[in-house]
Amino acid sequence: MSLDRKPEILAPAGTLEAVQQVIEAGADAVYVGGKGLNMRQHRASYNLTEPQIAEAIEFVHSKGKRLYFTLNSLILDSQIGQLRSTLSMLGRVTPDAIIVQDLAVASLAREICVQIPLHASTMMNVHNAETALMLKMMGFARIIPSRDIPLHEIRRIHEQSGLEMECFVHGDMCISQSSQCYLSGILFGDSANCGRCMKPCRWQWKLVTTRGDAELPPQNQGYLLARKDLCLLSHIPALVQNEIAALKIEGRMRSAEFLAPVVALYRKAVDAYFDDPAAYATNAANMQQIFAQRVREMTTAHSFSNPGSDGIEISGKREPRFFSHAAPAPGVTIGHNGSAKPIDAMPELIVHVCSTAGAQAAVEAGAEAVYFCHEGYSLHGPAPAADALIDFARHASSTGVRVGVLMPHICDERGMAEWRRRLHELSSLGNLTIGASSLGGLQTARDQRYRDLLADYPLNVTNSVAADELSTMGAARVTASVELTFGQLAEFMEAVRMPVEVVAQGPVCGMLLEHCVLATAWGENPQGVCSMRCRRAAYAMEDTGGQRHPLEFDRRCRNHLFTATDVCVLPNLARLVALGISGLRLECQLDKPETVAVLTRVYRQALTRLKAGETIDTDNALAEITAATGRPLSDGPFDFRSTSPTEDKEKDLVRT
């Protein structure tokens, strides 16, 4: 622990007035965004115009301070031109760093404004040193790590990577793992990864059982996912001890009058600690002031350990604003599912399962590839043992079936150690596909000489430039983002230069939580002594519209909140196949083998009919799917209604 250098106090600003006031209040640096391509897009009157950006940089630099610019939303192929223009502007006005989520921003920044340092947004969800080292090789100088790992793990990432760590210390926090919340994008078309989240985590929810007779907890309804605001004002020494380089305050959509006093309190606390560390104690008057102006109740979140019920405000009494109230009614668009002529290039039929029995059922029903889930959902059994995977893979490969294993969506320090061991155990399978959920996961598989690497959908690939970047890191194929509409996917497919797989059927994990809803409702903490009620019954979260979102618990006690409806592209399969996708993926990791068999067979038959130029019996196929799963169906993110088949044909003519 060094007391030679104070951590930077980094303040938000959404207006020029806020820029000026937070600097005057004692911020060492300020972060701002432009009118587009950043993670705060709900208020048109906030964020800076290009002339204001230049003015803000000039003012901040005149005070000897720093300004960081947020280009931290996901980018679509249709926005690449806008991105290039923005980077060119930044090259002229020279902020002190660019905060980045999408790999396309990093790639093009190296081309257009290489002199500006890159900071990895918390939306990159860095939760292991392997990912940090990959970012370092890409030229990143600082990381804003996952908000769901404790300070001591962040310190180890810093020590192993040599990169600066910037941590949120105050303000509004998401309860979902960063960049792993897809509900808003799938349900409303307003992506949480693009700054337009409709905040389903702030809904009223009811915890219900869907199977089993477990007793419901006394706190089974309310604002069960409403995270309290973060406050680490009383923990400055711990932040310094863990070598955090920058203390970040959230709130670019807050007024200057709200932000300046908060910045001033953190300035006082840091200065007081460094003036006399041995005598330092948290100032009670300062804490009273921060309490007096709080919006929500406050928590230290995951800075030291899982906060459990202390991290949630179940009453909702201090919730300042709601952006939505419940999931819209589900619907499936029925398209024309036939072809005037046979289709030669058909996508590979891929089935994602949790067991060798499920995999065998998929293969017998016509799957050309199977992926094994490694989340370890409590009611669906652990991932198959290495020996069982090896035996299955060798037999399947001899019949021409491709086999893959998918790493968990979140792999922290412990998770990466476990995953490295699993890859070592499977190393005799030279043709195994390895699905990576992080940049560190890609490199770890590459280090063990696996060659067929899949950049899976937790990497949120929404554009061809990011896909190219992943290709240079060793990815041989990519799963498209599960938030892309059909129109956006079509744009992506026109530009991308590598095989693209698409999640076409099944439930999608809409929100991945370090928080345990069930344990909290019982007043327990999964990191303490827990009665493991999640092993006794199946649960769901019911919104105020009556839709039930399945809630699954994994072996690490993380909660996976799934969409209330299964994505189903079957009524529009011909349109999807026509895009030239390489793989059609069925999400069957929550299904029994007999259900896997039905879903695989239905899609195998549909693809066979399309290849022959025949029409699919959509009504009968949908009835079979619904009867097998017992779950409602919808377009999911694709929104097939917004792009008609006629428009597809017009685009084809233009391309021709």
Taking each helix axis as running N to C, give the angle between helix 356-364 and helix 593-611, from 0 to 180 degrees, rounded to the nearest 10: 30
For residue range 391-450, list pLDDT tens digits in order: 999 999 999 999 999 999 999 999 999 999 999 999 999 899 999 999 999 999 999 999
Whether the pLDDT of residue 655 is over 80: the answer is no
Beta partners for residue 568, in sequence order: 505
pLDDT (0 to 100) of residue 525: 80
Using CA atoms in the order 236, 237, 242, 245, what is the torsion angle rounded to 10 degrees?
50
Instruction: Report, as an integer, the average pLDDT of 613-638.
Output: 95
Domain boundaries, the chain: 8-173+228-304, 348-508+563-655
pLDDT (0 to 100) of residue 656: 25
Instruction: For residue 383, give both structure tokens.
Output: 């991932």
For residue range 272-317, list pLDDT tens digits in order: 999 999 999 999 999 999 999 999 999 999 999 999 989 999 999 9
In terms of pLDDT, which residue wins out, 40 or 175?
175
Whether the pLDDT of residue 632 is over 50: the answer is yes
For residue range 479-497, list pLDDT tens digits in order: 999 999 999 999 999 999 9
Cα–Cα nearest to 552, from 407, 428, 342, 380: 380
**Architecture of domain 8-173+228-304 in this structure:** Alpha-Beta Barrel (3.20)
One-letter amino acid of 161 = S
Output the 3-class SS for 219-253: CCEECCCCECEEECHHHHHHHHHCCCCEEEECCCC
Instruction: For residue 238, give both structure tokens.
Output: 């711990």
Instruction: Report, as an integer, the average pLDDT of 354-371.
Output: 98
Instruction: For residue 108, give both structure tokens.
Output: 């093009």
Q: What are phi and psi of 634, to 5 degrees?
A: -155, 170
pLDDT (0 to 100) of residue 644: 53
Max alpha carbon distance in the chain (Å)? 82
**Do the beta carbons of residue 429 and residue 450 sit within 8 Å?**
no
pLDDT (0 to 100) of residue 554: 96
The rounded distance, in Å, linking the Cα atoms of 370 and 589 is: 11
Q: How far apart are the first and last CA of the chain?
A: 64
The rounded distance, in Å, linking the Cα atoms of 144 and 244 is: 10
**Do the beta carbons of residue 506 and residue 631 sit within 8 Å?**
no
pLDDT (0 to 100) of residue 196: 87
pLDDT band at 643 (very low <50, low <70, confident <90, very high): low
Beta partners for residue 351, in sequence order: 370, 586
For residue range 251-263, list pLDDT tens digits in order: 999 999 999 999 9
The rounded distance, in Å, linking the Cα atoms of 456 and 492 is: 16
For residue range 504-540, list pLDDT tens digits in order: 999 999 999 999 999 988 888 877 888 888 998 999 9
Whether the pLDDT of residue 618 is over 60: the answer is yes
pLDDT (0 to 100) of residue 367: 98
For residue range 158-215, list pLDDT tens digits in order: 999 999 999 999 999 999 999 999 999 999 988 999 988 999 999 999 999 998 878 8
The rounded distance, in Å, linking the Cα atoms of 496 and 465 is: 8
CA 105 to chain centre: 17
Q: Give the number of residues written for the chain.
A: 656
The rounded distance, in Å, linking the Cα atoms of 338 and 342 is: 9
pLDDT band at 339 (very low <50, low <70, confident <90, very high): low
Instruction: Report, as an integer, the average pLDDT of 62-69.
Output: 98
pLDDT (0 to 100) of residue 2: 83
Superfamily of domain 348-508+563-655: Aldolase class I (3.20.20.70)
pLDDT band at 345 (very low <50, low <70, confident <90, very high): confident
Instruction: Report, as an integer, the average pLDDT of 45-74.
Output: 96
Strands 8-12 and 29-33: parallel
Question: Please, which residues have CB within 8 angstroms of residue 239's CB and are 6 or more apart in sequence?
Answer: 7, 151, 167, 169, 232, 247
Give the lowest-confidence range in 130-144, 196-210, 364-378, 638-652.
638-652
